Amino acid sequence: MSLTLEEALASLRVLALPMRTTFRSLDIRETALFKGENGWGEFAPFVEYSDQESLPWLESAIEAADKALSPALRESIPINATVPASNDEAEIEQILSWYPGVDTVKIKVGTGIKEDLARIAAVRKHLPKAKIRIDVNGSWSVKEALSNIIAIYEVTGDLLEYVEQPVASLDELKQLKEGMSVDVKIAGDEVLRKAKDPFAISLDGAIDILMLKVSPLGGIKRAMDLASHHKLPVVISSALESAIGISYGLALAARVPNLDYACGLGTSALFNQDVSDIPIVNGAIKATSYPIDLDRVERYELKGERLEWWRNRISRVWNLRRPA
């Protein structure tokens, strides 16, 4: 029997999890958890997201809480370290220490090429042999991207594994690919998950790698259907969820047919404390069920106005769902 709105709201726990470092301008990450027959699901669209943009996040949370998983294809998921847009070298060194054994680092860029190059240099100082991924979140123009990618490649060489979403739109990505003079792979994130219909777009000549984030894409089944449809290599990444959402991302990574790249599923390390501990061992995380620590849930639980805000948000988004 499918989970109902009333059942979800009856089990709802809303949390404010403190972060160890500022990421995406956040020091506190708010999220909502609810329980179904299969366990906990997480609904964590960022607070500025519209109800319509939040709908896939709700579908993913319902699927996680309500549906049993198919057998996994692998147990251990290699991950990358994630470095926010900081130019404090001591902070960068500390953040890298939270990811023992990783050989790949994703670096947020787009704050200015000088600052970006300094951030990359700081990472390389501490992990000189690590593969480098840069994430631009679509903030460059095509002209800026052409220039900046060359500047970054001159510093990293072939250790530059890919550039994620350097420009915003599909047409801009195609223009960029046509104009590039260096052999650097382009990964697409927002171009897929922000598309009105991600099955209707053609990614040919635009990207080389597909980013799959289980929550914003609507769950494991839909993410796998998108991967099958677009027939590109994939990287499984997080959307800064708690350990509940990360566990579901790990479940996706354990089930995609091919996993050729490290995954961005180590972001639990960015939290001061999470609802469960997800250890990183030798640059990898085990894809398993991590039990929720109810003492921590109670410690970081929100009541009153914020609880009501999330209850109302879930109710509105739930009403956008199509009948099964």
Catalytic residues: 108, 213
In contact, 17 and 273? CB cutoff 8 Å? yes
| Cβ–Cβ under 8 Å, residues 280 and 100 | yes
Q: In a 3-state reduction of DSSP, which class is residue 145?
A: helix
The answer to whether the beta carbons of residues 81 and 110 sit under 8 Å apart is: no
Distance CA 41, CA 290 (A): 13
Tokens of 182: 């260096």
Q: Is 280 helix (H, G, I), strand (E, B) or coil?
A: coil
CA distance linking residue 232 with residue 68, whole number of Å:
27
Coarse DSSP helix, strand, coil percentages of the chain, rounded to the nearest 5 percent: 40, 20, 40
Q: Which tokens hold the place of 274? A: 């999470």
